[in-house]
Amino acid sequence: MIFNTDTAKKTAELLLQINAIKLNPKNPFTWASGWKSPIYCDNRITLSFPPIRNYLREEFAKNIEKQFGKPDVIAGVATGAIGIGMLVAEIMGLPFVYVRPEPKKHGRENQVEGFLQKGQNVLVVEDLISTGKSSLQAVEALKAAGANVKGMVAIFTYGFEIAEKNFKDANIEVYTLGNYDMLLKEAVAKQYITEDEYDTLKEWRKSPSTWGVEV
């Protein structure tokens, strides 16, 4: 769920402007999962543009407090959300931790890095939500460390049904700055894509795991 339509529109505009989101229906990308996709999103690029990263952190801070109240700790999901998570923690004056995909193989073998006390209220920051699997693994790691996870926020979501189901089953509330539907509207309005490409991108979202697969 997006925080609000004005923020979603502005976020889409900014991500398209700096090519953080690349749309290429005619020459699809291949994701790590093997899925063929006409879209690729790399929100880490936003960190290289001070006005844009400041906009994102300010919108996060304002809306986190409105929707969840002020947490005790901000947690970023490694590696993509460490940067933006730290910026959000900084502007909110809160401690910051980050969550690895899996525990380290050496040393203290931490999965959650930073100072976290049992019972603290934690708000998780993500850069991107696709299926939600890796995001929820971070949530489970925080819970295992004794945290009370209040919810999750992200810069962008593809809005897959599987992600909505996964978060609902895990009873985790998620809000995002931008989403796929608003992105496509902005992409057409600003002529990043044609109407035909818009239709292709809409079709892909219906069944991303099978789109572009020859049978």
User: Was 132 annotated as part of a binding site?
Assistant: yes
CB-based burial label for 200 (10 Å; 0-12, 13-18, 19+): middle
Q: How far apart are the first and last CA of the chain?
A: 34
User: Was 104 annotated as part of a binding site?
Assistant: yes
Question: 14 and 43 in contact (C-beta within 8 Å)?
Answer: no
User: Was 6 annotated as part of a binding site?
Assistant: no
User: Was 140 annotated as part of a binding site?
Assistant: no
User: Was 70 annotated as part of a binding site?
Assistant: no
CA 6 to chain centre: 18
User: Was 185 annotated as part of a binding site?
Assistant: no
CB-based burial label for 119 (10 Å; 0-12, 13-18, 19+): exposed
User: Was 33 annotated as part of a binding site?
Assistant: no
| DSSP alpha helix (H) spans, 81-194 | 82-92, 133-144, 161-170, 180-189
User: Was 106 annotated as part of a binding site?
Assistant: yes
User: Was 123 annotated as part of a binding site?
Assistant: no
User: Was 165 annotated as part of a binding site?
Assistant: no
Residue positions forming the annotated binding site: 100, 104, 106, 126-134
Residue positions forming the annotated binding site for orotate: 130
Residue positions forming the annotated binding site for 5-phospho-alpha-D-ribose 1-diphosphate: 100, 104, 106, 126-134
